[in-house]
Amino acid sequence: MFRHTLAALAVGTAAAQAEPPQVVATFSIIGDMAAQVGGDRIVLEVLVGPDADSHVYEPRPRDAMAVARADVVLTNGLEFEGFVDRLIAASGTDAAIITLSDSAQVLEDPAGGHYHYIGEQAIWHAGAHDPHTWQSVPNARAYVGAIADSFCEADAEGCEGYRANAASYTQDLDTLDVQIRASVDALPSSRRTVVVAHNAFRYFEEEYGIHFLSPQGISTEAEASAADVAGLIREIRDTNAGAIFAENISDTRLLERIAAETGMDLSGTLYSDALSGPAGPAPDYLSMMRHNADTITSALAAD
């Protein structure tokens, strides 16, 4: 957990000052959206920080304390944060619990889940719906609207400001959405397939038309069967996949092996389920999506 924004109490008459709303966001991506909407009027705690995997996160006692004193808890839902239901129950909080994916266009997951690559293990993350909704900018726009609604509910006096922040941020999201579509549209139609570590980009695929392949349950151990790897390599060749990417929350060893066997190099790092730290290329949602789109399209355009 890290303190993302310190509340700066509004200057002016003491009579007009209320306690700033205490907001908890479960992970860095929705934490950034909360900061954009709340500005310096909220006190924000983000539980799962940059480059960390929410699916395997183990909450600490201070996370329960943050949830206990919160007025609003922002979660993604769709079983993305495996820890969150227990944490909320254990905290005894009376905060408003907001499930942001309720506002999104949600995709069913025909595979019934996806794999995470942690250390040397492939870990199955089951779910009837794909939780990675924020990988489409229109869904992010819906999240921002739901965040503003929840802040207005918790702090009516701040509502006008939250709405204004949300409106201006939504314009930035709209610009981003147009840019991503234009950069993908500029690619030759034969150059639309890439390989990633975990299957987190189905919303990006659906929205923008890049096809993503990913290893399905192949162990990252050195003795992972050649047959398992061969299946993916065949798919990479059959689909003429143009690039392979590392990912900020996944182990890269399996991808390096696949890249080596196909004679390709890794073409950079994508940010799927967490932002980068402040010095990285994806310290906020807009930068993250721009970085991912630029990394994908420049790798595909290069050949």
Cβ proximity to Zn ion: between 71 and 273 the closer is 273
Residue 197, interface with Zn ion (CB under 5 A)?
no
User: In the bound complex, which residue of the shown chain has the CB atom lying closest to Zn ion?
Assistant: 125
Q: Residues, the chain, total?
A: 303
Report which DSSP code applies to 133: G
Minimal distance in Å, beta carbon 79 to Zn ion?
A: 8
Cβ proximity to Zn ion: between 4 and 125 the closer is 125
Minimal distance in Å, beta carbon 274 to Zn ion?
A: 9
Using the contact rule CB under 5 A, the part of the chain among 157-165, 212-220, 221-229, 273-281 near Zn ion is 273-281
Cβ proximity to Zn ion: between 32 and 273 the closer is 273
Using the contact rule CB under 5 A, the part of the chain among 94-102, 121-129, 230-238, 284-292 near Zn ion is 121-129
Tokens of 264: 């390709």
Site for Zn ion, residues 44 to 63, rule: CB under 5 A = 55
**How far are the Cα atoms of 56, 66, 274, 276 from residue 43, in angstroms, in the given order?**
26, 11, 21, 21
Minimal distance in Å, beta carbon 13 to Zn ion?
A: 47
The label of the residue with tokens 């073409």 reads 267
Residue 200, interface with Zn ion (CB under 5 A)?
yes
**Contacts with Zn ion, 137-176, as mask; x by CB under 5 A:** ----------------------------------------
- Judging by beta carbons within 10 Å of its beta carbon (0-12, 13-18, 19+), is residue 140 exposed, middle or buried? buried
Q: Tell me which residue of 115, 120, 122 sits closest to 222, measured CA to CA.
A: 120
Q: How far apart are CA 289 and CA 295, in angstroms?
A: 10
Cβ proximity to Zn ion: between 32 and 71 the closer is 32
Q: Which residue among 125, 129, 141, 192 contacts Zn ion (CB under 5 A)?
A: 125
Is 239 strand, coil or helix? coil
Site for Zn ion, residues 253 to 272, rule: CB under 5 A = none
Paired strand residues for 266: 244
Cβ proximity to Zn ion: between 125 and 191 the closer is 125
Residue 81, interface with Zn ion (CB under 5 A)?
no
Residue 96 belongs to what H/E stretch?
A: strand 96-99
Pairing of strands 2-5, 43-48: antiparallel
Q: How far apart are CA 231 and CA 145, in angstroms?
A: 42
Please report, as ranges, the residues that interact with Zn ion according to CB under 5 A: 55, 125, 200, 273
